[in-house]
Structure 1
Amino acid sequence: MEQIEGLLRRSVVLLDKPSGPTSREIDERVKAILKRKKAGHAGTLDSKVTGLLVIALDEATKAMPFLANSDKTYEGIIQLHGDVDFSELERFIGENFTGLITQTPPVKSRVARRPRERAIYYFNLLGKEGKNVHFRTKVQGGTYIRKLVHDIGEKFNVSMHMKSLRRTESGHFSIGQAVTLEQLEEAYREYEGGDSSSLEKILMPLEEVLKDERRVKIKKDYIPKVLNGSPIRWEYIESIDREVESGDNIVLLFEDKIIGIGVALVDFNAMRSSSRPVVKTDRLILD
């Protein structure tokens, strides 16, 4: 029981969101089911949108700088309001809406409505059935798909709207790893009854979640300083990824356990010769 409680405080749940509730309402359901103090999602899905929602629990919510900005993959249906040549639309999207685009967030978004660059890695049309066009797209985190579809229609001069949308990937997670609310509830009931096997399979430890992120290992002698919020100097560091650039979020490790999130203050090449702190201790992740 104690081991699972520790895991619950530092883990992520991959949920298959149904149509209907908002992402925030899903957070509240998960928090209630698992009896947590905190639960927060990375990458909001509109109420009618289904699919992969990454939900962090308790201390794991401090990893949001990594989770929120991860790339996302979606599958959906565009409904056309006019006659369109499929090949022409396909060519138009490839020429105008892949690569770096400029997108202004929609009116109802929580961010400032300023034009900003977003990467569209691909926007593939899979087929057409009457007025419905099936598509799959992979985009940079923070891209609004409904707005993207609207902008395509506006520039193509044919009215269209997003009929349905499902998120299938977020970062290195996929929908095949996700569970439903009902499955999560059943796993927690089994855990309360003494069988934790199902719940253990669902809970993803923070170390697994952030395994591909840039990281720095702290020497044992300097752990007390870091846990008191001290900025990290070069002599504190046992090892660090050489790709680190100034401003990068970095996972802070003691041995193989995550103890916090830091922000690089200089590029890796400048760290060794720096007489100042090289990494800011941004947030601590506790047991």
Structure 2
Amino acid sequence: MARKRKGRDISGWLVVDKPAGLTSTAVVNKVRWAMDAKKAGHAGTLDPEATGVLAVALGEATKTVPYITDALKAYVFTVTLGAATNTDDAEGEVIKTSDARPGDAEIKEALHQFVGDIMQVPPQFSAVKIDGERAYKRARDGEEMELAARPLFVESLVMLDRPDVDHVTLEMVCGKGGYVRSIARDLGEALGCFGHVRELRRVWSGPFEAEKGLSLEQIDEMAKTPDLDAYLLPLEVGLDDLPELRCTPEGAVRLGNGNPGMVFASDVEYGDEAWASFEGRPVAVGIYKSGELHPSRVFNLPD
């Protein structure tokens, strides 16, 4: 018999402003403990030294994680010019240097090639799998790998500041699967001066904003109290990019059992993905077809 998982049946989103020096998994474990939740996960890994928004899904909200992972995200980061590292950030060993320092106009011009649908090679130290093994594990053993380029959509990449001749601060808005460290590396190569990320902060991810996130100190202070529960956002926040449909009482029952259910449609078309609610509660996500929602994910929320 499987062991019953301990904790509360609590569902929703808690937004954390992650500090530097912790893995995303460590933050999720802290939130799960503080909320005394049975189940938790996050929507998009941040590197240990990165800061900013880490949206933690609890309970049934974990079923909406893919929609936040697919959403646009914004990063503000500072690139150190004149040096490349083996990790593409300040934690690694310097492997190339240059005395060249591009001007502001040259940097702004170079940014254009990283906007739109681009192909990006992940860093050697990344979680990409090579023959079933994480790339960073092989990189730690000194192995150099030929990682395949991956598609990335970059909505915008702009220069915010030039603190000094050795550094430039940028803001990037992009889709899923992007590596800011790769942008810094490739920008340095394009400018002929090399580069790596010195600081990185994710300022927003889909509907979640870092400035509205809780610090770990705040979470510790309010752990396992109603005060922390008050910061829990509803599950449906994770479905912000999908249209909402209202379902009939009979439709709600059918959808709850994993079957197509009748919904009241307005501006959705046949084949559109949407989510259905009944009396203000999310019921399911699915595909709209001829007056019914065909569910792909069903939410089993406690009364």
> Shorter-chain TM-score category?
0.7 to 0.9
Which one has a larger percent helix, Structure 1 or Structure 2? 1
Deviation per residue, 1:209-234 (Å, 9 max, x gap): 434522222211222221111134xx
Specify the alignment match of 1:102 in structure 2. 119
Q: How does 1:190-205 map to 2 (within 5 A)?
A: 191=225, 196=226, 198-205=227-234
Distance 1:23 1:122, change over 3 A: same
Report the CA distance between 1:172 and its aligned residue.
2.3
Q: How does 1:164-175 map to 2 (within 5 A)?
A: 164-175=199-210
Is structure 2 residue 274 aligned with structure 1 residue 250?
A: yes
Task: Choose which of 151, 158, 169 in structure 2 pairs with 1:117.
Answer: 151
Q: Distance in 2 between matches of 1:93 and 1:11?
A: 38
Q: Distance in 2 between matches of 1:286 and 1:240?
A: 25
More deviation in 140-149 or 106-115? 106-115
Q: Distance in 2 between matches of 1:280 and 1:154?
A: 48
Structure 2 counterpart of 1:52, which letter? V
Which ranges of structure 2 fall in alignment gaps of 5 or more residues? Answer: 1-6, 83-99, 131-146
Asked if the contact 2:102–2:191 (Cα under 8 Å) also holds between the matched residues in 1, the reply is no
Specify the alignment match of 2:160 in structure 1. 126
Report the CA distance between 1:104 and its aligned residue.
3.2
Distance 1:14 1:88, change over 3 A: same
| % same residue | 28
Distance 1:241 1:188, change over 3 A: farther
Report the CA distance between 1:111 and its aligned residue.
6.3
Q: Distance in 1 between matches of 2:128 and 2:273?
A: 23
Task: Choose which of 284, 292, 301 in structure 2 pairs with 1:260.
Answer: 284
Specify the alignment match of 1:92 in structure 2. 110
Which ranges of structure 1 fall in alignment gaps of 5 or more residues? Answer: 273-277
Specify the alignment match of 1:275 in structure 2. none
TM-score (normalizing by structure 2)? 0.78
Structure 1 counterpart of 2:155, which letter? Y
Specify the alignment match of 1:222 in structure 2. 251
- Secondary structure, counterpart of 1:204 in structure 2: coil
Quote the RMSD (CA, aligned, Å): 2.3
Distance 1:114 1:245, change over 3 A: farther
Task: Choose which of 223, 227, 236 in structure 2 pairs with 1:207.
Answer: 236
Task: Choose which of 218, 234, 239 in structure 1 pairs with 2:265.
Answer: 239
Report how many residues are paired: 260
Distance 1:142 1:207, change over 3 A: same
Distance 1:212 1:146, change over 3 A: same
Structure 1 counterpart of 2:20, which letter? S
Structure 2 counterpart of 1:154, which letter? E
Report the CA distance between 1:206 and its aligned residue.
1.5
Report the CA distance between 1:56 and its aligned residue.
0.4
Report the CA distance between 1:76 and its aligned residue.
1.2
Asked if the contact 1:17–1:51 (Cα under 8 Å) also holds between the matched residues in 2, the reply is yes
Deviation per residue, 1:1-20 (Å, 9 max, x gap): xxxx98x7121000010111
Structure 2 counterpart of 1:20, which letter? G
Q: How does 1:1-287 map to 2 (within 5 A)?
A: 9-81=10-82, 82-94=100-112, 96-107=113-124, 108-110=126-128, 114-128=148-162, 129-189=164-224, 191=225, 196=226, 198-232=227-261, 236-242=262-268, 244=269, 246=271, 249-264=273-288, 271=290, 279-287=293-301
Specify the alignment match of 2:4 in structure 1. none
Report the CA distance between 1:279 and its aligned residue.
3.9
TM-score (normalizing by structure 1)? 0.82
- Secondary structure, counterpart of 2:251 in structure 1: helix
